[in-house]
Amino acid sequence: MYHEARTQLQTIRDLLRFAVSRFNEAGLFFGHGSASAYDEAAYLILHTLHLPLDRLGPFLDARLITDELEQVLGIIERRATEKIPAAYLTNEAWLGDFNFFVDERVIVPRSFIAELLREQLAPWIRNPDEVDSALDLCTGSGCLAILLAHAFPNVTIDAADISPEALEVAQRNVADYNLEQQVNLVQSDLFAGLEGRTYDLIISNPPYVSAEAMATLPEEYRREPENALGSGVDGLEATRTILNEAASHLNDRGLLVVEIGHNRDNLEQVYPDIPFTWLETSAGDEFVFLLKRDQLP
């Protein structure tokens, strides 16, 4: 098939059609930035050809030279046959207008907290200039820590993760945004390495996938670090620790914001006395909760 493609396909339009067909035929899963085979094909082609990611139309009928054709077909083939997330093939992931370096050492950035940081967590934080200290727990690639730094101009941030390999990726991203003086990377198993440190704001997108869901994840998710996804039998192991220990790491008027995937019902059953505030996101109000320090155990 790919031999025929090399001899018969000529334009970006040809490659786009071919890629969409291959991706649909391969039964790929799209959960790492693209919503469909078409979106993913367009992104991979434009990225590989060093073209603007938002300008497909003007280039559709452009013909490719041999080397360009080989490069595009190569990345299409890897995506279709190896089921590697596109972000690992391009070493790039986006949250809104921010792009980050990623590879297999970190999960591909995706968090509803990113949406909330664009609004500076309003109305829960009335004056962003007064947020002096924050913690991004389970920082992974450092993406949310970097968004924190842009949302709150006076904040000093600890970005913590259990994985030294993930922190290597985070360090690269922090440096790319020239935030070394504002973001401090810490190797820590949740709060274990943060004794004595307190914050005005703690955010976390921790592991939250249950054991049952882990067993049925699409191949693309299995390319990501397992310890960044799975969290015990019910998916709440990390969240329990966060809830039980966060109060001692928050200042008097501090806030805790945590993303928990599809675990809202389970969480409310386990903690019926905690008055969770569920924040509205583009996908609904059941994925991210907020608590004030005095509402925590």
Segment 136-158, tens digit of pLDDT: 999 999 999 999 999 999 999 99
Global pTM reads 0.94
Q: Residue 95 — pLDDT band, cuts 50, 70, 90?
A: very high
From 67, 90, 113, the end of a domain falls on: 90
pLDDT at 7 over 90: no
Which pLDDT tens digit goes with each residue over 15-39? 999 999 999 999 999 988 899 999 9
Kindly state whether residues 85 and 198 are assigned to the same domain.
no
Q: Burial-class residue 40 by CB neighbours within 10 Å (0-12, 13-18, 19+).
A: buried
* Cα separation values, 55 from 23, 24, 85, 97, Å: 22, 23, 22, 16
Q: Both 171 and 67 in a single domain?
A: no
Confidence of residue 284 (pLDDT cuts 50, 70, 90): confident
- Residue 221 and residue 98 in one domain: yes
pLDDT of residue 283: 85
Q: Do 19 and 153 reside in the same domain of the chain? A: no
Task: Say which residue, 1 or 136, is predicted with more confidence.
Answer: 136
